Amino acid sequence: MPVEVRGALELRKAIKKFSPDLAKETRKELANLLAPIVKTARGFVPSSAPLSGWGKAPTTTGRFPIWSSSAAKGGIGYKTSPSKPNREGFRAVARIVNASAAGAIYETAGRVNPGGRDQAGLKPVVYPGHADFGKMVRSGSKNEGRSSNPFAGKQFIDAINADGQIVDANNQTGAGRRSRKMRGRAIFRAWADDGGKTNAAVIKAIENSKLKFYNAMGVK
């Protein structure tokens, strides 16, 4: 969840170089503004696994993250340092982040494919040295599911939706540029509930720091 302002990155670099006390004051002010959103977002994370079995260790090897409510809640935080540029070249000067892999899945699952990902097709394993040689296995792109249950994706998303629906925060008013991907169940829901007030307050804080910096430097 980013807050983006044109010219803000260059301003903060200048403040950090020539007025470190003001830079520290600005970071503290931004942190105080973002902390309530973090608290609200953490409250939207379920206290138990959204579906049965997600919180248990897998019986097969794989990379799907195990659910932990404490980790999902703790993974939500804020950053007041500039982000890396996105594909359009924009950088966020302050943002709410989710460092938990399972928490990120809970936040966004179904955002692109509400009915779940398409399942990869079955193909024979023809390599003699492979453990599944002679068997039919699902093989496809990374955007396709490989579960033996063709409805696994939809059932997974339906179970998560029973805990929390995806909320669109892009309809909220307030200053600043908004991402097109502002839809989710925790962070974006909290941002939507805020109604743009924090976004506007962050931008105002940055503008105020600019005025203080210019005054300190004798710029009119």
- Residue 19, CB half-sphere, CA atoms under 13 Å: how many? 19
Enter the tokens of residue 154.
């939809």
The pLDDT of residue 75 is above 60: yes
Best CA proximity match to 95, nearest among 171, 167, 41: 41
Q: What is the mean pLDDT of the chain?
A: 85
Higher pLDDT, 89 or 170: 170
Enter the tokens of residue 194.
């805020």
Q: pLDDT tens digit string along 154-194?
A: 899 999 999 999 999 886 555 555 555 789 999 999 999 99
Q: Give me the pLDDT at residue 188, please.
A: 95
Alpha helices (runs of H) in the chain, residue ranges in sequence order: 8-18, 20-43, 69-74, 101-108, 152-163, 187-194, 197-217
Average pLDDT over residues 80-106: 87
CA 191 – CA 147 distance, rounded (Å): 34
Q: pLDDT tens digit string along 132-150?
A: 888 887 777 777 777 777 7
SS3 98: strand
37 Cβ neighbours under 8 A, 6+ residues apart: 1, 78, 96, 187, 190, 191, 194, 198
Enter the tokens of residue 184.
């989710």
> Which amino acid does the sequence have at 36?
P
Best CA proximity match to 144, nearest among 111, 117, 122, 121: 117
Q: In what order do the strands lie in the sheet containing 94-98?
A: 2-3, 94-98, 76-79
CA 78 – CA 68 distance, rounded (Å): 20
SS3 77: strand
Length of the chain: 220
pTM to 2 decimals? 0.80
Residue 76 belongs to what H/E stretch?
A: strand 76-79
Q: pLDDT tens digit string along 38-74?
A: 999 999 999 999 988 888 776 555 678 999 999 999 9
- In degrees rounded to 5, what are phi and psi of residue 78? -130, 160
